[in-house]
Structure 1
């Protein structure tokens, strides 16, 4: 493991936490080798499913028992995990978004997984989508084992689509013009909007749609500390102009937030809805006639924005070999049962599950199961990822563009300028 000093690790943790309140939640020092500490940030329906998975693994009597600690999503969670790792008093295993690995692995806050021990519990690289496995790597080693992929997708009301005569067109559209035409036809059916999309005050929502469509143009975004951001401004402006064209108070609300957009779709006041797969349980509970699909390829290149929940090994000052082997078994057993995790809309990362008849029968989940083959995560850099300020920087500079009062080029340039300031800073470690 890294020979970083405690002082440098604490410095890293403070930088990653962004100055948030630090609360000690370290696991107790006197635990048996069969008592596993597991931290995650799953709440709501996700939390209930995860609790069921852990209970099922514990009930299998495999020689260990996992105890869950559920912490608040976002900065509070990542702050506490960073500080626990910096102090060497971290849990045995924890959940981390794949988009955060680039900020934690280089600083010595995570330990790599052992491929031989993974093989002993039946897990191999070939069991995971290539792009997902790659995202979990740092310096040629696996620092995370993916539980899922959770992308941004397109939901649609099947009854409205049938009345508008666009059911087939939804599946075959290949251009911004076709999307606009379909949305307009759906608006005529609903009498309100053709599309629900909430973004106001939510940088994450703005970024998810922008990055999906930006990457569909074939453009990339490379962020390397010490160098200027490598971006395609023409592609960014093209993407922003298209998004703004949808937000015209006819196709979609010019200034809708997430709650308003969801409620509108749930009440049948729109025909389509841009949202994460994690929205699926609430939509299905409402008994809405719906289907879901990947966001159509409108600019020539298949691309979708997503993140992944992953299992990581936070740094511990002293690792108990027996307990560590139990962690490998616990993770393997959860992955092998992860068809239950798909109930929440997520795409299980463990391929034997997604290829199973049980998963393929899940609708609409299996309709977008191919997204991991062309998934796009946040750019790999220490300040990006879920629960960070990266997407807020995008919102600060581009929200006025979405609202219709800002210049797309100027807004994107402001975002890039903010990125360049961060890239000019030395990485925390």
Structure 2
């Protein structure tokens, strides 16, 4: 018989025959035991490797979510590996996929997917299998679902959106006479109105009206700039092999407004983001521009904090944001059982993401956002509408969160904010740097 070809062509001794029979007996015994409830999978769950870049409070929240899902699914166990945020993470993920030794699952910012999907470094999601676990296109806000796609295929499943927002101190705002009848901060509708509000808050704090540290942080500068730029109704196109298409007037006006903030009255002329967060946390300012992920810091400090989307100062509601998204690093040989485990894990994380919202993020899974439990979270519910006005980075292989492109923005714009360079000069330098990148092929 074909299945016993290893016996062919040689004469067996009695000892070999007995040894072979014993070995086969062991195989059949193991098979019999596995069919009677004492199977190996119950004793040794399937291992799923999961890479992410979430540290600090986010890392603690994610570990709690992972542990909860692991406990509910004895058939598999997800093992997280936490890597450094930014370029190191994305470089290692690309190398692992290209080298054939990637994890079964990873977190990627949605803005980075366009640099990875075209090169085959991540696999598309099977929408039919997702729907089996209760996850469909209807589970997400339109802008978030649209961002998950590349060339008609879904390459990422968003866990959240984490927008750039405005935190404010209710006590300071109240003393400045800036709270409305609903107890929320009055809305500024122009640059001049916002500057006036900030000055009124400075009179209360006797320090600054606004905190916004930016030195050495391209991401911090870019988040505010791109919010203001998109509020002009302006778009930005980054097409490989072609010059950058942008509204130069809107860009320069946005930079000039940013520079006007740093007069040592409205905001400190210089300082990094850590300095800005610390100043706001101790009551040294009335407002802070930063990401929603800072909310736990202020809650822990017992600050009377509230939050809102960045005021619409130029007519078009917009808020810079990104999404932590699940991606499937390319597998040379897909293990169908483990791949299905991954789908179950992701669906369970999405359904349990109310705890993720407690860290400040806006859950992407709409049944959670629409739940009464989420509506009772404050100040999260006060900026939840940011998910409808998300402004993701313009798509390019080099753009997105944690990219060198944002570092290049800092290199050309920081001196503008410090008052050393003209806004036009800083912007033109950034355009030239971007055009150089556009002339190069995607390295991955």
Does the CA-based 8 Å contact 1:87-1:317 persist in structure 2? Answer: no
Give the gaps of 5 or more residues in structure 2: 1-43
User: Aligned match of 1:228 in 243, 252, 259?
Assistant: 243
What SS does structure 2 have at the residue aligned with 1:397? helix
SS in 2 for 1:83: helix
Q: Is the Cα contact below 8 Å between 2:45 and 2:75 reproduced in 1?
A: no
Q: After TM superposition, where is structure 1 displaced by more than 2 Å over at least 4 residues in a row?
A: 168-172, 426-429
Partners of 2:333 and 2:270 lie apart in 1 by 52
Mean Cα displacement is larger for which, 328-337 or 81-90? Answer: 81-90
Secondary structure of 2:334's counterpart equals coil
1:401 counterpart residue number: 416
For 1:380 and 1:389, the matched residues in 2 are separated by: 14
Corresponding residue for residue 331 of structure 2: 316
* 1:280-291 → structure 2 map (5 Å cutoff): 280-291=295-306
- Of the three residues 96, 121, 134, the one matched with 1:122 is 134
CA distance in 2, matches of 1:33, 1:86: 27
CA contact (8 A) 1:33 1:322 kept: no
1:18 counterpart residue number: none
Tell me if the contact between 1:150 and 1:278 (Cα under 8 Å) persists in the aligned partners: yes
Deviation at 1:33, TM superposition (A): 7.9
Question: Residues 14-413 of structure 1 correspond to what in structure 2 (within 5 A)?
Answer: 34-61=46-73, 63-168=75-180, 170-413=185-428
Give the SS at the match of 1:56. helix
SS at match of 1:170: coil
* Of 278-287 and 70-79, the range deviating more from structure 2: 70-79
d(CA) in 2 for partners of 1:34 and 1:119?
A: 23
| SS of structure 1 residue aligned to 2:80 | strand
For residues 123 and 130 of structure 2, what CA distance do their matches in structure 1 show? 14
Query: Does the Cα contact within 8 Å between 2:113 and 2:155 map onto a contact in 1?
Result: yes
Deviations for 1:280-301, whole angstroms, at most 9, x for unmatched residues?
A: 1111100001100000101000
Could you tell me how far 1:368 is from its partner in structure 2? 0.8
CA contact (8 A) 1:93 1:311 kept: yes
Query: What displacement does 1:62 show?
Result: 5.3
1:93-130 alpha-carbon deviations (Å, 9 max, x no partner):
11001111011111110000011011111100011111
Cα offset, 1:382, TM superposition: 0.1
Partner Cα separation in structure 1 for residue 150 and residue 353 of structure 2? 25
DSSP 3-state at the match of 1:167: coil
Aligned length: 398
In structure 2, how many angstroms separate the alpha carbons of the residues matched to 1:172 and 1:154? Answer: 11
1:21-67 deviations in Å (ceiling 9; x for gaps): xxxxxxxxxxx882211111111111111111111111113522211
**1:422 has 2:437 as partner:** yes
How far did 1:245 drift? 0.9
- Structure 1 unpaired stretches of 5+: 1-31
Q: Secondary structure at the match of 1:340?
A: helix
Structure 1 residues 256 and 49, CA gap change in structure 2 (3 angstroms) = same
Partner of 2:4: none
Provide the alpha-carbon RMSD of the alignment.
Answer: 1.2
More off after superposition, 379-388 vs 306-315: 379-388
User: Which secondary structure does the structure 1 equivalent of 2:129 belong to?
Assistant: helix
Structure number with greater Rg is 2
Instruction: Tell me how far apart the structure 1 counterparts of residues 45 and 305 of structure 2 sit (CA, whole Å).
Output: 47
3-state SS, counterpart of residue 51 of structure 2:
strand
State the shift of 1:171 in Å.
3.3
